[in-house]
Every structure is written in C-alpha cells, then in structure tokens.
Amino acid sequence: MRLLRSAVTPACYNQRMTQTDLPDGLLDKVRALLAKAESTRFEAEADAFTAKAQELMARYRIERAILSMHEPAGCDGPTSRRILVPAPYSDAKFILLAGIAAANGCSAVWSRRLGFATAFGFGPELDAVDTLFVSLLIQAGSALRRHGAKIDSFGRRRTKSFRRSFLLSFAVRIGERLESTVAATVANARAEVGAELVPVLVDRSDRARAAAEAAFPETRYFAPVASDGEGWYAGRVFADLVDLAAAPSLP
C-alpha cells in the first residue's frame, strides 16, 4: 500500500471516470450478479454471486491476454482512473481497493488528502476494480449496520474502533480470496487453451505498476493497525461469507 505525496499526474495517462471497456453484455451480467448479491440476506449466496462476477471478469481479462499473444505490439497500454475513497475509515477502504486492484493486475495509489485513489491498469481490469470496490463497500456497510453500536465492559463506546478493525480485516481477507479466485480461473483457462498465460498476465501487471510509479514517483508505504479484536474477527468471518459484490454505503 502506498500513500500519495504528490497529486500531479502526467498528461500521458488518460484519467477516465465513466467510460467502460468491458463489453456491454458482460457488464450487464456482472451487474446482475452483484445486484443479486446486494439483495440477498444470505451471505453464502451473496458470496457465490460475487465470486462468479469476479470469475467472469477474470475470464475476460484472460481472453484479452490470449489475444495479445497473437497481436503485434501496439500503442495499447495501461491507463489510469480516479476512484473515490470515502471517509470514514478511508485507510481501511483503500486497503480494500488496493487488494482488489492487485488481484486484477492493477496498481493503486492513494491521495489521502484529496479523498481519492488513482488506479492504473488496462481498461477491462479497471472496470473490474471499480465495480467490485463499490459493491464490496455496499456489502460491508450492510454488515456494519447489522452489528450496530459497540460498548466495552466499562460502558465506553467503541463503535469506531470496531468498525475500523472490521473493515481492515475484511479488506485483507477479501484480497486473499480474490487472488485465489483469479488463480483458479487462470489455471482452468490454461488447461483449456494450453497457453502459458502467467507471463502475459505478469507483464500486464508490471506495466500497470510501472505506470503508477512513473506518475507518482514520490510515495511511501503505510500500515494501518487494528485495535479491536472482535472487529477484526468479525470482519474476517464476513469476508469469508460475503459475495465479492455490493451493499449500501458505509455509515
């Protein structure tokens, strides 16, 4: 994770806010799956819908990678997209975003004072990151509301520490799960097409990271600390059950 020091982005990186690169049909399927994930109260069912959404987007990424193996090198390269990282608990939310980005071959840099992050990657991958991030924030927000307020044994309110720890744990575990989902999808695709996909996907990830480092050469790492054990445990449990999709905004 990196904390942004400079907000200047070179003009050679195309900042895009609304245009998508995923085909309309695929995007409709993904959004339908995430909508189902958001509407169900059964966490295991939501998890299945989210995982399927990530799988569809990973498959498309793989298909694009396979095509690139047979195409001459062109001007196509990584672009960038600003993504809102809302308060409160923005550090935990950025870790969630960074984990989603990494699983989808992208890199993210946080402009803490400006309230947004810049994600670097190829168009379809950025669509996946943007879509999943919004969806997972919604799901996490619903879970936090279900947990309600928290009070310690001395009668002091600890709702903020619980929620922040919950979101940190949730973010870490979601990143792990997304990585596993993508790895399994790559393995299945490799068995089907008989092509060596890993070097191609690694190259795309490396290009996204290089673009981020070129745009933001002055960054530093940060490591948020969770202080509420119950919140950390609850966040990890929910991440294991949640659909990698959506829910209402966080309080």
Name the residue ranges covered by the structural domains of the chain: 22-241
Rounded to 5°, angle at Cα 173 from 168 and 174: 100
CA distance 185 to 191: 10
CA distance 227 to 137: 21
- For residue 137, give the H/E element and its range: helix 123-147
Q: Over the stretch 41-62, which tens digit does the pLDDT of each residue have?
A: 666 676 677 777 767 766 666 6
Q: List C-alpha distances in Å: 100 to 45, 128, 158, 162, 170.
A: 20, 9, 28, 23, 12
Looking at residue 227, its pLDDT comes to 85
Q: Over the stretch 60-89, which tens digit does the pLDDT of each residue have?
A: 666 666 666 555 444 478 999 999 999 999
Looking at residue 156, its pLDDT comes to 76
> Which band of pLDDT confidence, cut at 50, 70 and 90, is reported for residue 15?
very low
> Which band of pLDDT confidence, cut at 50, 70 and 90, is reported for residue 125?
confident
Percent of the chain with pLDDT over 70: 70
- pLDDT for residue 8 is more than 80: no
CB 225 within 8 A of CB 12: no
pTM of the model: 0.73
User: Got the DSSP string for 161-182?
Assistant: HHHHHHHHHHHHHHHHHHHHHH
Mean pLDDT of all residues belonging to the chain: 77
Q: Across residues 240-244, what is the average pLDDT?
A: 71
Helix and strand element counts for the chain (H, E): 7, 5
User: Got the DSSP string for 180-249?
Assistant: HHHHHHHHHHHHHH----HHHHHHHHHHHHHHHHHH--SEEE-------HHHHHHHHHHHHHS-SS--SP
Burial pattern 119-155, b for ≥16 Cβ within 10 A else e, equals bbbbbbbbbbbbbbbbbbbbbbbbbbeebeebeeeee
> Which band of pLDDT confidence, cut at 50, 70 and 90, is reported for residue 172?
very high
- pLDDT for residue 176 is more than 80: yes
88, two tokens = 């409160």
Q: Across residues 118-127, what is the average pLDDT?
A: 89
CB-based contacts of 118: which residues, under 8 Å, 6+ apart? 4, 9, 15, 80, 81, 82, 83, 108, 109, 111, 212, 215, 216
